[in-house]
Amino acid sequence: MGASPRASIALILAAVLAGPALADDPGGATAAGDYARPHVYAGLGGHYALADFGIPGVRADDGQGLSARVGYRSHPNLGFDLNFDWVSPAALRGASGARIGEVESYVVTGNVKLYPFTGRIQPFLSAGVGLLAIRTESRFGSRTQVPVGGRFGAGVDVYLDRHFALSVEGVYVPPLDSRIDDLPFALVGGNLQYHW
């Protein structure tokens, strides 16, 4: 894990922990209530992927990817979304560092999001479950596994105005199937959202 991903995770945690100081919007009831109104939202973005594989003698390079989501804010402090993450193919390396294959991942999860504050800056916690598709290729051939997986994270939404928000988050994605639970990874990234 390089300095850049660690710095990104530290910024996310700082934003979440600083939420009580930042989230009280001095704009008054109209601003705070409007950002937390019941509404549908959608977003597109990207992320940096950090592999945390537990396979002896094998490691994966860090990668990048894209994400998309659509959700519904049902209550000022509660939301739900359907999230799609794609992690581009990354090299698998043996103990010597030589490339021995590659891994590519897809994640589709349904998530619950908790918002303790309702102002212009809104830290959140999220938890979800869904399906992972993990494709590995090596000299022994190609294999795709589709286990149930989790998606657990924290982040912050920053509203630019009534409709547009920037969202930054860090999530941990572990397979929940014991046959493949040695292939977890983390995602750190952001997305631009439109809120109806």
Tens digits of per-residue pLDDT, 129-144?
A: 999 998 989 888 888 9
Tokens (6 digits) for 128: 């979800």
Q: What is the pLDDT of residue 67?
A: 97
Q: Mean pLDDT across the stretch 106-122?
A: 96
Count how many domains the chain has. Answer: 1
Look at residues 76, 63, 74, 68 and name the one whose alpha carbon lies nearest to residue 29: 76
Maximum CA extent, the chain: 62
Q: Mean pLDDT across the stretch 21-26?
A: 44
- Residue 110 lies in domain: 3-195
pLDDT tens-digit series, residues 67-101:
999 999 999 999 999 999 999 998 888 888 889 99
Does 183 score more than 80 pLDDT? no
Domain of 160, CATH number, reads 2.40.160.20
Task: Round to whole Å and give the CA distance between 169 and 158.
Answer: 11
Task: Round to whole Å and give the CA distance between 187 and 172.
Answer: 6
Look at residues 122, 148, 94 and name the one whose alpha carbon lies nearest to residue 32: 122
pTM, two decimals, is 0.78
